[in-house]
């Protein structure tokens, strides 16, 4: 809130804009990719490796 005097106040509204970053390997650079778990070729491990490649390349022990 900004004020120019002790009694007057002017509210400020922020306008936010979001632009998703595209992925060159997905749907011609679109920022999304569709997965359908009902597809006979769908594998969750493959999807996770595609969405989170850094996580798929590292191994965790626990």
What letters, b where the CB count within 10 A reaches 16 and e where it falls short, cover 33-56? Answer: eeeeeeeeeeeeeeeeeeeeeeee
Give the model's pLDDT for residue 10. 64
DSSP-derived secondary structure for 10-35: B---------PPP-TTSTTT-S----
3-state secondary structure at position 54: helix
Tens of pLDDT, residue by residue over 2-45, are 656 666 666 678 888 888 888 888 888 888 889 999 999 999 99
15 — alpha (psi -120 to 50), left (phi > 0) or beta? Answer: beta
């Amino acid at each position: 809130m900004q004020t120019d005097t002790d009694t007057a106040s002017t509210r400020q509204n922020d306008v936010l804009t979001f632009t998703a970053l595209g992925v060159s390997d997905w749907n011609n650079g679109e920022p999304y990719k569709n997965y359908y778990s009902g597809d006979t070729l769908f594998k969750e491990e493959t999807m996770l490796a595609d969405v989170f490649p850094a996580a798929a390349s590292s191994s965790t022990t626990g």
